[in-house]
Amino acid sequence: MDEFHFPVRTTFIFLLLSFHGTTTTAQTTEQLCTAPFPVEFSENNMPGALVTTIDTLDGVTLTIVEPLNPKFILDENQLKAQEVLDYEQGEKVETINIRCFQAATEAEGRLTITVLLLNVNDNSPTFSSSSYTLDVDEFTPPRSLVGAFPAQDLDLHPDLYYTLTPDSSYFSLRSSTEPDLLVHADLDYDTVQHVNLVLTAQDTPLGGAEIPSFTATTTIAVNITDVDNRPPWFDPCNRHPLGGGVVVCQSPGYNTTVTLNERVDGAMVLKPKQIIAVDGDTGINEEVVFSLLSGNKNDIFAVEESSGNITMLKAADVLESVTLTVLASQKNNSHQFSTTTVTIRIHVESLHKPRFQRRSYHAVVSAVGTMALDPTNDDMPLQIIAVDEDYNATEGINPYISYSIIGNSDFNLINGFLFMARKVEDATFSLQVTATDTITDESDTAELTVEVKSGVGGYRVEDMAALGASLALLLFVCLLIIGLLVYRLKRGDKASQKIFEASRFLSTLGPGGPKEGIQFTNEAFQKDEDRGSVSSAGNGGETSKGVWDTEEEPRVSELKFSDLPEENEKEVKPILTKERRVEDGYKSVWFKEDIDPNAMNQVVLIPDSREEEEDEEEEKEEEEEEEEEGSLKILVSDTDLDSGLGVKIEDPGEDSERDEDLNIDL
């Protein structure tokens, strides 16, 4: 262990050498006595232990001059320790002055002996406390420092070595020479609340050579504290750890039954137990309050805020199942909440138990997954149904009846239909089927004979699904055909629209109604190309100009004027000129406001659009084309029905054979 204190010893040596020069042996001028310099002597010695031997000349005697109360004595020429020396309690360096005297020559000298006390590993490390207590919250991340617990050693060891027991999965030391306590893994209050550790300090290297060593221990009690990170949990609930200390507690819900038109007094009895919800952080245990979130149709039910008990405010008058959503939240932190459901089945008072429609059933099934057939009913799918006379309003169908086959798992009943659950050999099975009212626990039993015949046709679930898909496709095709018919009917309405347009046009021929000689032909409705009709003039003002031709077989309505009246002598204002035109065979239509209402002139009026010059040029071109064909033409411009402007009517040429005919192409 000397190597630990070599720097101290060396320091003393150099100090002493500075006083005694370069010699390493204390001596007088006559060299009467000498001794090693310095002298090393270990602590914890036995009294009388030899410190060093002094060399002297013949006849030289030795006497200790100082110290006056020496810890050392002289035994002739031997310097011995008179008491037990302690490095930690006493001086680390002892200086002894000795008188050397030779009686024969009366020579005298002085000898100084320096004793360096060596430290011996004789002390155990010590902790400042025999025990420590820590509070660590469960959200403390791994590798976080939660405490440091160094030990001290009076032997002044430069390093102490530490171990932590037991080998905790939650905490660890930074290193074997650094007693810093770190979080090793995620903490969870619900998993562990307390961890007790033992920290050991040793003054020799761990696992080193078997040399004397001393140790010290202390205990560290770590309390894991809860953090408000979980909402209230209903009881019972299914816990699902998600990692990182996150746990979800899923409530399966509660249920009960009530009788139709009867009110339950006090708290309703629920299954599997009454509503209970506690803070998911059990170390905090915040107070929980309850409320109804949804499902309380007609305000029949209520929940007590503090207890969570479900009560009835009035009787239920509808035969149904009610699902209430109950909210549980912390009173002081409403952000922490959870929900559960309470299913309340409303049923009629039981006066009759379920009863099968038959006392025995016969079924034939062919393969796994196929529906059993009823050989007594034209091999139709067999349906096993029990009725309950308490449910006459629903034709005896009790929605709370469940079906099962007693003592056999080869067959299943699904909604009253029988299926083979797994393959069995062809055989006949004698079974019993039971129908149980899950509310009243009343039941009925019937005999069931099942014949398994491979290869016999049956209705499988897949067949039923295919049938449903086919019916859906057929329905879609029907809807498509109906849509096409409706579309065709709407298109057929255009004939009536044509009649309306023609009637409207005739109403413009004067106050006397339709003029004599006007005829309509059915051929006008054979094509829907008349987008310039009178009725379309109001659709945004965008119309096409109609052309009234004089073909042998007119394509649209034909108007015949048996007699066109002569022009009167009154001055009127023409549409294209301010001068009156008096040429024979020329008729004009004037502004409506310029016509004498007492005059007998027959005038055809249409609305005026006051078109641009381009439109007028088109009208003139069409007039010239009609002149060549020898027909009388009425030009219909894009209109404003209130404008008062009319159209221009011209007589056909002399070569025309149909002077009185007027063809109108709508």
| 202-238: pLDDT as tens digits | 988 887 666 678 899 999 999 999 988 899 999 999 9
| Torsion from C-alpha of 652, 653, 654, 657, nearest 10 degrees | -50
Query: For residues 241-256, b (16+ Cβ closer than 10 Å) or e, as one string?
Result: eeeebebebebebbbe
CB 366 within 8 A of CB 379: no
| 155-170: pLDDT as tens digits | 877 789 999 999 888 9
Nearest to 220 by CA among 186, 177, 183: 183
**Which residues have CB under 8 Å from 536's CB, separation 6+?**
501, 543
Q: What six digits make up the tokens of 91?
A: 């001086």
Phi/psi of residue 505, each to 5°? -65, -40
Q: How many CB atoms within 10 Å of residue 666?
A: 25
Beta-strand ranges (E) seen in 372-460 are: 373-374, 380-381, 386-387, 401-405, 411-414, 417-420, 428-437, 443-452, 459-460
Q: For the residues of 529-574, what is the DSSP string, one character each? A: --TTSSGGGGSTT--PPP-----SS-SS-EEE-S-PPPPPSS----
**Which residues have CB under 8 Å from 629's CB, separation 6+?**
549, 550
Helix orientation angle between 461-492 and 494-506, rounded to the nearest 10 degrees = 20
CA 379 – CA 365 distance, rounded (Å): 10
Residues belonging to the chain: 666
Phi/psi of residue 629, each to 5°? -85, -5
Q: With H, G, I as helix, E, B as strand and everything else as coil, classify residue 617.
A: helix
The H or E element containing residue 504 is helix 494-506
CA 383 – CA 395 distance, rounded (Å): 16
Q: What six digits make up the tokens of 353?
A: 């138990």
Q: With H, G, I as helix, E, B as strand and everything else as coil, classify residue 59.
A: coil
Nearest to 428 by CA among 413, 450, 456, 408: 450
CB 559 within 8 A of CB 550: no
The two beta strands, 370-371 and 301-303, are unpaired
Instruction: Look at residue 121 in the predicted model and tell me its pLDDT.
Output: 82
Nearest to 588 by CA among 551, 537, 623, 640: 623
- According to DSSP, residue 36 is labeled E
Instruction: Look at residue 269 in the predicted model and tell me its pLDDT.
Output: 95
Helices (H), 419-460: none
Q: Whole-model pTM above 0.85?
A: no
CA 478 – CA 509 distance, rounded (Å): 49
Q: Per residue, what are the HEC states of 215-264? A: EEEEEEEEEEECCCCCCEEECCCEEEEEECCEEEEECCCEEEEEECCCCC
pLDDT beneath 70: ranges in the chain: 1-30, 208-211, 244-245, 455-464, 490-666
Q: With H, G, I as helix, E, B as strand and everything else as coil, classify residue 299.
A: helix
Nearest to 168 by CA among 150, 181, 177: 181
CB 257 within 8 A of CB 439: yes
